[in-house]
């Protein structure tokens, strides 16, 4: 069994599969741990009444999976070839080929981009997608956070401890954020509110770092310019489904489709969990829950799968011993 990805979904799938003696191989990515690595306090994961830091929580998820025999490969999957006939699926990490009869997809989601001029060129030079990673670089300078959800509130509150001002730029006057987060953010003195505006462009200083954002009022089209040193984009996420596009069924937004309440994808032996599947809940605890489901679905699949199609086992063994000879030589 191969698990691709290492957020709460991937590591929980690994924990359950390891405890089922499946010795799962977790290709956890070079930057393992998923988006929680970029979070500070996690206050809504049950069992931690005082809260826990995101990176510490992911370390614990990882340690727990490893303790029961999950094998971790700390590198990025470069290619996936799924097999329709119930045989071995192929997963590459560079030149290294891994084969698994069951594959759990748990690649999660990444930050959504605004797609405006200057955003890409100024990424790392003032434009960021993670206040908890980068806020300390913006001490005493004016900044903006773009977005109106809980992430935007969280980013704004964190950033307000460093920056001189944080203007929350949002395209509507109403906020999608939960009441409690909005109230907390509203109570912070140096958080200001710029609505209903969208960013049209980020502009650099002569030195090449971010100096201005050009904003447009979404009601009357008028424009204004804000002088800023930092811009944090918090407008949601994109599923990381590029590796398997065209091989399993995806919805219009690129999320992997699963059957009913299970984690079964359109490809036999391939299961999907976590943010890669879920555009509704997207919580650490729901991702962990679906990771558990994926491991159980995969375990049941393997139990009932019967022998491999003719020749597959021999081919895999030959390839393995070929590699062993090469390594030995
Ligand atoms: P979200 O709830 O989907 O909010 C995204 C925000 O970005 C929305 O306000 C949306 O505007 C705006 N937006 C999207 N595309 C845009 C674009 N192209 N240009 C300008 N604005 C754009 O995403 P999220 O805030 O990342 O939250 C995701 C989930 O995680 C939510 O369920 C949330 O509750 C949860 N979360 C919880 C916490 C916490 O409890 N501590 C912290 C972070 C996240 P519209 O509103 O106009 O669509």
Residues 205-230 have pLDDT tens digits of 999 999 999 999 999 999 999 999 99
Q: Give the HSE-up count for residue 284: Cα atoms under 13 Å, Cβ half-sphere.
A: 26
Residues 160-182 have pLDDT tens digits of 999 999 999 999 999 999 999 99
Mean pLDDT of 99-104: 97
Residue 19 near residue 3, CB atoms below 8 Å: no
DSSP state of 308: P
Give yes or no: 134 in active site: yes
The answer to whether residue 326 scores a pLDDT higher than 90 is: no
pLDDT of residue 327: 46
User: Does residue 184 have its Cβ closer than 6 Å to ligand 1?
Assistant: no
Give yes or no: 292 in active site: no
Mean pLDDT of 199-207: 97
The residue whose two tokens read 């908890």 is 132
Residue 58 near residue 37, CB atoms below 8 Å: yes
pLDDT of residue 293: 98
- Predicted TM-score (pTM) of the model is 0.77
Distance, CA 175 to ligand 1 centroid (Å)?
Answer: 9
Rounded CA separation 62/7 (Å): 9
Beta bridge partners of 203: 212
Selected catalytic residue, list 63, 133, 173, 251? 133
pLDDT of residue 125: 94
Choose one of 130, 145, 235, 281 to mutate for the ligand 1 pocket test, by most ligand atoms within 8 angstroms of C-beta.
235
Rounded CA separation 191/171 (Å): 17
6-15, 37-46, 113-122: which has the minimum mean pLDDT? Answer: 37-46
Of all protein residues, the one whose alpha carbon is nearest to atom 28 of ligand 1 is 236
Strand 230-233 relative to strand 142-146: parallel, antiparallel, unpaired?
parallel
Q: What is the mean pLDDT of the chain?
A: 94
Rounded CA separation 116/317 (Å): 50
pLDDT of residue 294: 98
Selected catalytic residue, list 130, 278, 292, 297? 130
The answer to whether residue 321 scores a pLDDT higher than 90 is: no
Distance, CA 93 to ligand 1 centroid (Å)?
Answer: 33
Distance, CA 236 to ligand 1 centroid (Å)?
Answer: 5
């Amino acid at each position: 069994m191969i698990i691709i990805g290492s957020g709460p979904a991937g590591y929980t799938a690994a924990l359950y599969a390891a405890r089922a003696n499946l010795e799962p191989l977790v290709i956890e990515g070079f930057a393992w741990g998923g988006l929680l690595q970029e979070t500070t306090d996690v206050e809504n994961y049950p069992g931690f009444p005082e809260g826990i830091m995101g990176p510490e929580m992911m370390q614990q998820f990882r340690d727990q999976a490893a303790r029961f025999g999950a094998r971790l490969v700390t590198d990025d999957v470069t290619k996936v070839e799924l097999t329709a006939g119930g045989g071995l699926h192929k997963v590459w990490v560079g030149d290294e080929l891994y084969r698994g009869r069951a594959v759990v997809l748990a690649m999660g989601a990444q930050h959504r981009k605004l797609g405006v001029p200057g955003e890409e060129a100024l990424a790392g030079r003032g434009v960021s997608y993670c206040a908890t990673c980068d806020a300390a670089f913006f001490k005493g300078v004016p900044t903006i956070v773009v977005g109106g959800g809980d992430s935007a509130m969280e980013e704004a509150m964190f950033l307000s401890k460093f920056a001189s001002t944080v203007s929350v730029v949002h395209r509507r006057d109403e906020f999608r954020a939960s009441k409690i987060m909005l109230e907390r953010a509203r109570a912070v003195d140096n958080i200001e509110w710029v609505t209903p505006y969208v960013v049209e462009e980020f502009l650099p200083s002569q030195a090449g770092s971010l100096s201005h954002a050009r904003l447009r009022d979404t009601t009357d089209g008028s424009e204004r310019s804000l002088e800023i040193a930092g811009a944090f984009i918090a407008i949601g996420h994109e599923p990381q489904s590029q590796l398997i596009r065209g091989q399993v069924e995806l919805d219009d937004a690129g999320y992997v489709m699963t059957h009913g309440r299970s984690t079964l994808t359109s490809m036999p032996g391939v299961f999907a969990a976590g943010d890669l599947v879920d555009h509704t809940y997207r919580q650490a605890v729901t991702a962990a829950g679906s990771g558990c489901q994926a491991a159980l679905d995969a375990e049941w699949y393997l139990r009932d799968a019967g022998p491999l199609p003719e020749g597959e086992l021999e081919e895999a063994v030959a390839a393995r011993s070929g590699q062993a000879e090469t390594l030995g030589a």
